[in-house]
Amino acid sequence: MKSLAICAACVGVVAAIADGHVSEAAYSASRSCYTDILAPSIPHLPPGPSATAYPRDGLLHGAQPAPFTPSGGLGTNGSEPLYVPETDFDFQSISLALYQEYIELDLFHWVLEYFSPAEFEAAGISPEEQYLIKYMGDQEIGHAELMANILGPAAPKPCTYRYPFTTVEGFIEYSIKNTRYGESGVLGFLAHLNSRPSADLISQTITVESRQQAIFRQFKGLFPMPFYFVPGVPQSWQWTLLAPDIVSCPANQTRLIWQNFPALRISNNPDNTLTCGCDWPTVKPAITHNMSTPLSAPGRVVEFSWDLPGQPVGPNLSYVTTTQAGPPKFVAWVSQLNVTYSPLTVLNEEGAMWAVKWLRK
């Protein structure tokens, strides 16, 4: 069984995918681009036998390798760190993070040219705050350079993008979402990287990303941190959200292995500029606002629709949405430390769209 995705070493190759399978012609033309798939999914296993062996009694249980240094830890034996990928997982995960950094780098600089200073000020974004947006764009230059240096010559290159907004307010809302899934996507793989030195550097970029996300919420007059914990999500979730905004990439661009899921939409999503009891003309950027009206509550009906698989998406429309799941039955809500499932009621099927509702209890 061969992989449906193209490995990083095989740049510039587009697989022909039909009904979830790579065509024999495409496979024969680029046989070296595929590796064996060992199983249809990662099995769910119990913790290893030594996972709970350490006694949590506050005492030292191993010899100290140096004064004031407890035993244990990873990368603590004095070896010089090397900031390079050690596995395919490392390379593909860091490449995804670099795609994320590139779009933010482009977005934060481009938007200052697209909208005039007067348009920003009409939305309550002062010249000082416009400079902050520019500075966040400059931060992304450093982040992108760091990740490209880790990856080496095959690192992805900047692409061209499309942005789904036409106003300053729309830019701020988009940036809230973009930095949000960028943050959660990196948090999802960071602890699993084989290269611990690389993980250390990337963690220093994602802490900045978290601050950017809070700043954009403050630009919109929202409560900046409405959570205790920020969840990590799988790489394919992040790539699914990011890829539609990428129009094209350079020739011989390093491709990603991650899956693109069919697009999911909420048709009655609450508007945080209205249902919070405020609107843009009256609520301007602030350090914080205490909003008393919740955006959602138990018992609320939420309406979804989604595309059928098989849609071209991403740079040069060279990726195709796929799914290995059966008929939809539940909605999974990922929030902070928990995943909560709600029953899903499919109302009808029309063309490539299914209209659904569910009731949160």
State how far the Cα of 310 lies from the Cα of 106, in Å rounded to an integer.
29
State how far the Cα of 345 lies from the Cα of 357, in Å rounded to an integer.
6
* Residues facing residue 330 across a β-bridge: 343
Residue 77 lies in a domain: no
Whole-number mean pLDDT of the chain? 85
pTM: 0.87
Residue 6 lies in a domain: no
Using a 10 angstrom Cβ sphere, with 0-12 exposed, 13-18 middle and 19 or more buried, the burial of residue 189 is: buried
| CB distance 358 to 345 below 8 Å | yes
Residue 152 lies in a domain: yes
Q: Which pLDDT score, from 0 to 100, does residue 24 have?
A: 38
Q: The tokens of 324 are what? A: 């290995």
Low-confidence ranges of the chain (pLDDT < 50): 1-32, 275-280, 350-361
Q: How many domains does the chain have?
A: 1
State how far the Cα of 91 lies from the Cα of 175, in Å rounded to an integer.
26
User: DSSP H helical segments within 220-311, as ranges?
Assistant: 235-242
Residue 241 lies in a domain: yes
Whole-Å CA distances, 85 to 69, 78, 231 = 28, 19, 24
Question: What CATH number does residue 233 fall under?
Answer: 1.20.1260.10
63 phi/psi in degrees, rounded to 5: -65, 140
State how far the Cα of 323 lies from the Cα of 262, in Å rounded to an integer.
7
pLDDT digits (tens, 9 = 90+) for 182-221: 999 999 999 999 999 999 999 999 999 999 999 999 999 8
* Residues facing residue 343 across a β-bridge: 330
Q: The tokens of 29 are what? A: 């033309």
For residue 203, what are the domain limits?
Answer: 17-42+82-359
Residue 8 lies in a domain: no
